[in-house]
Amino acid sequence: MYQALKNYLAKHIEITDEELTSFCSKFKSKITKRNEVLLKGGSICRHMFFVNKGCLRVYLVDKEGRESTRFLVPEGRFGTAFPSFILQEPSQAYIQSIEPSEILLLTYLDFRELPNILPGWEKLYRINLEHDYIASIKRIESLITMSAKERYELLMKNNPELIQRLPSKIIADYLGISQETLSRLKSKK
């Protein structure tokens, strides 16, 4: 059950089996159905998620009910409604599992205890943050400098597996364009 998480840690830091076990014991497992909602907008996000299998989607819903995807979290990655989780304030975003998934959950309190449990955690977490932040900078740049078509081509180049795997509706609102526009981009070229 904790294999993917263990691999993830072992790949990034020096860690004993004991530490690994006590680290993993903080996580609770959860099986989710397709489209199951794990966090509703307006409530405080109490968990950090690690995706064992499946895929999470962090998304926004506007007053007219239109959705935009903030992040996608495929297996082997951590994810949460970051602003809400870190600041422990109500979330703008929703979280759902867009596929039947197997998720590990870590509470906020346990998350804040990790540096004490696992000496290497602080550094690992920081490096993760740096990379996530860099990824978000790249995304901002793609949004302010590129056309819808260019952004789609970039995603296709960097994450072809996501495009194959997810409904194009979700790809569209991740790119910040309408479903119809994406459909036309695909057929045009």
What's the closest the beta carbon of residue 53 comes to a second copy, in angstroms?
A: 25
Q: Give residues 13-72 in contact with a second copy (rule: CB under 8 A).
A: 60, 62, 68-70
Distance CA 36, CA 94 (A): 11
Distance CA 5, CA 144 (A): 35
Distance CA 120, CA 141 (A): 32
Tokens at residue 143, please?
């949004």
| DSSP string of 52-84, one letter each residue | EESEEEEEEE-TTS-EEEEEEEETT-EE--HHH
- Among DNA, a second copy, none, the one that 129 touches (CB under a kind-dependent 5 to 8 A) is a second copy
- Among a second copy, DNA, none, the one that 107 touches (CB under a kind-dependent 5 to 8 A) is none
Site for a second copy contains 143 (CB under 8 A): yes
| DSSP string of 117-142, one letter each residue | H-TTHHHHHHHHHHHHHHHHHHHHHH
* Binding piece for a second copy, criterion CB under 8 A, among 13-21, 100-108, 123-131, 180-188: 123-131
- Among a second copy, DNA, none, the one that 143 touches (CB under a kind-dependent 5 to 8 A) is a second copy
What's the closest the beta carbon of residue 107 comes to a second copy, in angstroms?
A: 18
- Among DNA, a second copy, none, the one that 21 touches (CB under a kind-dependent 5 to 8 A) is none
Site for DNA contains 180 (CB under 7 A): yes
Distance CA 70, CA 97 (A): 14
Question: Which position among 97, 139, 170, 171 is part of the footprint of a second copy (CB under 8 A)?
Answer: 139
Site for DNA contains 165 (CB under 7 A): no
Tokens at residue 54, please?
């499946």
Q: Give residues 90-109 in contact with a second copy (rule: CB under 8 A).
A: 92
Residues 6+ apart with CB under 8 A from 85: 45, 46, 47, 48, 108, 111
Site for a second copy contains 126 (CB under 8 A): yes
What is the binding site for a second copy (CB under 8 A)?
Answer: 60, 62, 68-70, 82-83, 86-87, 92, 122, 125-126, 129-130, 132-134, 136-141, 143-145, 173-176
